[in-house]
Amino acid sequence: MREARIRPAAISHNVEVLKAIAKTPHMLIVVKANGYGHGAETAARAALEGGADWLGTADLDEALELRAAGITSPILAWLFGPQDDLAEAYEQGIDLGVSSRAQLERVAAIAAKNAPARIHLKLDTGLGRNGVDPSEWDAFFSAVQQAQKAARVQVIGIFTHLSGASLEADAEQGREFDSGVARAHEYGIVPEIRHVASSIGTSDSPALAHDMVRVGAAAYGVPVTARYREAGLIPAMRVSGQVILTKRVTAGRGVGYGHTYRTERDTTLALIPLGYADGIPRHGSSAGPVAINGEKFVVSGRVSMDQLSVDVGDSPVTEGQWAVLWGDPAEGDPSANDWAEASGTIAYEIVTRLGARVPRVVAP
């Protein structure tokens, strides 16, 4: 009675489009957060089919799940804590993003002699999250140099992440990154791959593409920039629920908790079994778009934990029909961006917050 239809072919198509835009030797597709809600293994295989040669995850468990599924491509994971066991990631050939001397020491400690751990050095160039602050670069690069000489680490990449505050801010981060790369070279650290740009940077800051881009949302057909809206990206997720009840009510009837919506006339209400427990934003109450039989409606009243109501007026909506919350606008569906705007958030959150109670159905 509820489902998220996932189209791997759309992801493959989007990756092909993105490769043409980026024009970089390498393309990393980010499949963290269960493949942005699409299913990690499904997304990973589709991305590789589309021409990606790297995959990225946030944490180690996500990366190891891909290895367990038989995926052998290079995988970069960049978030781990002091209690995480790095040994299995090392044994499985997972590249690790290293953001501090302490992390470097932990990674070097688990590497066998003459079998160095594969690492990417994360520099903080202005986002203020993980990554080595410029004030610590000399001490950090010196430690990396020693770990290299001891054959404990192999520096595959060096990277940073853009704030997206403005094009000028991103350009300034790019200059800071170049400075960091030059400083690393002074210590004999010459990574194979420099990577800076994610989805938005790939679109709007092409000078920062370097050797590889790390694309997330755009690979799933979420057009996060104006350029992408013209590029022919295809949304890979369509979220829908069956109408499980219709009933005729009179004018003035309150609908949902708090009666934030009241019917203005005699009308039909349609009940759809999707709610905030499924990841449908409660902030989309009385605002989120819904399509039934190709006709557009709006959520009527508050989104509940398990269900939402739609006032369909006199339209011939019947039980068993499917109501689409977001999908491909080219097919007449609302988009994830539409839901984001209605809920005061971003489309990234709309697709990634979709709950496990909504089955992912892989479709052509």
Residues counted in the chain: 364
Residues with catalytic function: 32, 257
User: d(Cα 27, Cα 18) in Å, to the nearest integer?
Assistant: 9
Q: 141: buried, middle or exposed (CB in 10 Å: 19+, 13-18, 0-12)?
A: buried
Q: 114: buried, middle or exposed (CB in 10 Å: 19+, 13-18, 0-12)?
A: exposed
Contacts for 230 with CB less than 8 Å, ≥ 6 apart: none
- Cα three-residue angle 178-182-186, rounded to 5 degrees: 165
Q: Which of 159, 146, 135 is nearest to 104 (CA)?
A: 146
Q: 84: buried, middle or exposed (CB in 10 Å: 19+, 13-18, 0-12)?
A: middle
Fill in the DSSP letter of residue 266.
S
Paired with 308 in beta bridges are: 272
User: d(Cα 344, Cα 102) in Å, to the nearest integer?
Assistant: 39
User: d(Cα 27, Cα 181) in Å, to the nearest integer?
Assistant: 20
Residues 279, 239: contact at Cβ < 8 Å?
Answer: no
